[in-house]
Chains A and B, each alone.
Chain A
Amino acid sequence: MFKQVAAVISMSLQTLPQRIGASSVIVVGIAGVVAVLVSVLAMGAGFRHTLADSGRSDRVIILRGGSDAELNSNLTRTDVDAISNAPRLAKDSAGKALLSNELVTVVNVPKIDTGTDANVTLRGVGLRLAEVRPELKIIEGRMFHPAVRELIAGAGAAKQFRGLTVGSVLHLRNADWTVTGLFTSNGDVHESELLADVDTVGSSVERNGYSSAVGLLSSPAEFTRFKDALTTDPQLKVDVQREPEYYAAQSKQLTQIITVVGKTVAVIMAIGAMFGALNSMYSAVAARGLEIATLRAIGFGAVPVLVSVMIEALLLSLIGGVIGASLAWLFFNGHSVSTLGGGFAQVVFQLTVTRSLIATGIIWACVIGLLGGFFPALRAARLPVAEALRAA
């Protein structure tokens, strides 16, 4: 059986160049499907990756109870004092808790590509920023000074929005702010933000409280005890989450939308490509009618014929899948885009064509090929030999 299958496949592949037109319909159609699917899903993966990379398991974010995002959370100074006194927080050498009280607001900054204003997060951060967020690195210029209108811009934001160069002045919230530096933050969501001194931001937006407090635990295992200490304090009404969980929740809705939209578009295209594959494989079977009938007359079984047509469809689909995934990777992997995140501010992220997305694209290609090849293969296998010989 194996020899028969190998012989029939070898013959069908050798005749492929004579059927290049019909065969390329399958390759091009499926490459298109896979390129679109992988590119759209790369958006979701990039967005998820950016938000999932935000935070560490020993860092917690405290919001007002019932708030699902920093923008609609409000902590008073009393709240933050109480939080800083809670047990299980990491302390510095002077015994002070490593806690950054933060205030998040949205400012308008024009986008580089369109010139239209977009919402950008301006995050006021506490003086313990460097200890609480050690991954934050100044890559150009210097850190902002407290009590003056200075800010540092994330590297992602600097790529997407105008005026975010060191030394430039931005007019935000009726005041001029000087950009003193650019920073990276392991590619996380904060690279889409502008950071400044929390009290200066507070006075600028005329708010006395904070949006959140971000603290470093003495160890990741202390999370439950820390959380219990805060949530059982009758003076406080707060929610405590590990940072990765908070950002995962923030990314969930948009990632789901991107995934659903991506897959819907891909399914529609896949149906088209499947009909293309069906048509091409029917043509291939018709073109090989005499060859198949002769082999069947000689004594070759129906199964090798069926398998050979399926394998040809699979192989062409595989080529299409690899081309499509390669195109997606070539043109979109690492491409920076921005979109509205969970907090109504732009999140800058890079499309990420992961190995699993490439595998997903190729699996889709193979499924389309198998479905498109099955019925023509069945026809080839069931070809009445005498009739086919007579027709030829």
Chain B
Amino acid sequence: MSEAIVSLRNVDKRYVRGKQSVDVLQGLTLDIPKGEFVALMGPSGSGKTTLLNLIGGLDTPSAGEITVAGQRLDQLGQGALARWRANHVGFVFQFYNLMPMLSAQRNVELPLLLTNLSSAQRKTNALAALTLVGIADRAKHKPNELSGGQAQRVAIARALVADPTILVCDEPTGDLDRKSADEVLHLLQILNREHGKSIIMVTHDPKAAEFAGRQLHMDKGALLEAGVAA
């Protein structure tokens, strides 16, 4: 088995609202090898998005250890986590989360603003990422001029452009029709198989999960079983 890109040990996540506390994840232990495409499945409220947020460094655990790309995330403050995310994680959201006032190309350039690349280099890299996801011809269009599938491709290009260690996708096909969804999933599969990207994807859709190399099922804050490669 190759080296783990994600390693969780006895991770708890508890949300406290006033006097109420809700245990969302309990004693979760998980390893995801480098270069794997994992689908996280489970019913609403099972904790899969919380787990994804912990792996992506968007949230911190209440207890336990999380190591991603060799970095103990549970030991980082908010500022360090933001820097770490900029260097290691590409996010793909269900509703794309593109900046409506920016063109596709400018949206893709956003993560590169956190690097030392020149403006010309940023533009070149953004166009390369848009080409990789097959949507370079729409570079000058704004999000409201794109279809859902196209917008999600732009979002994937934005997630890829800074060459992250891991892609974190939260319901990336949740807002798409079947055809567009399959195209996006196929693209993720290519990125995993041909470009070696480690991908963790939350999905409700069993068909979407079939594109992943492994399926993990969650319920009530715990992992149930490990799926087999498709």
> Which A positions have Cβ atoms within 8 angstroms of B?
3-4, 7, 11, 14-15, 290-291, 294-302, 384-386, 389-390, 392
Contacts and interface: CB of A to CB of B under 8 A. Distances in A.
B99 interface: yes
B93 A294 contact: yes
B28 interface: no
Given A11-B99, A295-B110, A298-B111, A386 B58 contact: yes
B78 interface: yes
Interface stretch (B84-92, B133-141, B216-224): B84-92
Ranked nearest first, the 4 interchain pairs of A and B with the lowest CB-CB distance are: A299-B86, A14-B101, A294-B97, A386-B59
Given A297-B91, A301-B82, A389-B58, A7 B110 contact: yes
A384 B53 CA distance: 11
A4 B49 CA distance: 28
Contact of A291 (B49, B82, B87, B99): B99
Question: How many interface residues does chain B have, given as a range?
Answer: 20 to 34
Contacts of A301: 79, 82-83
A307 to B, nearest CB: 14
B114 A11 contact: no
B114 A4 contact: yes
Contact of A389 (B87, B89, B93, B110): B93
Contacts of B97: 290, 294, 297, 389, 392
B132 interface: no
Contacts of B83: 299, 301
Interface in B65-94: 78-79, 82-83, 85-87, 89, 91, 93
Nearest to A7: B113
Interface of B: 49-50, 53, 56, 58-59, 78-79, 82-83, 85-87, 89, 91, 93, 95, 97, 99-102, 110-111, 113-114, 158
B113 A3 contact: yes
A3 B78 CA distance: 20
Contact of B101 (A15, A299, A300): A15
A224 to B, nearest CB: 67
A299 B115 CA distance: 11
A15 B100 CA distance: 9
Given A298-B114, A299-B83, A299-B86, 11 more contacts: A11-B102, A14-B101, A14-B102, A294-B93, A294-B99, A298-B111, A299-B114, A300-B82, A301-B79, A386-B59, A390-B49
B101 A11 contact: yes
Contacts of B59: 384-386
Nearest to A4: B113
B21 to A, nearest CB: 16
Contacts of A392: 95, 97
A7 B79 CA distance: 18
B101 A297 contact: no
Contacts of A384: 59
Contacts of A291: 99
10 contacts: A3-B114, A294-B99, A295-B110, A297-B91, A298-B111, A299-B89, A301-B82, A302-B78, A385-B59, A389-B58
Nearest to B15: A387
B15 to A, nearest CB: 9
A389 B92 CA distance: 12
Contacts of A7: 110, 113
B47 to A, nearest CB: 13
Nearest to A290: B97
A298 B159 CA distance: 8
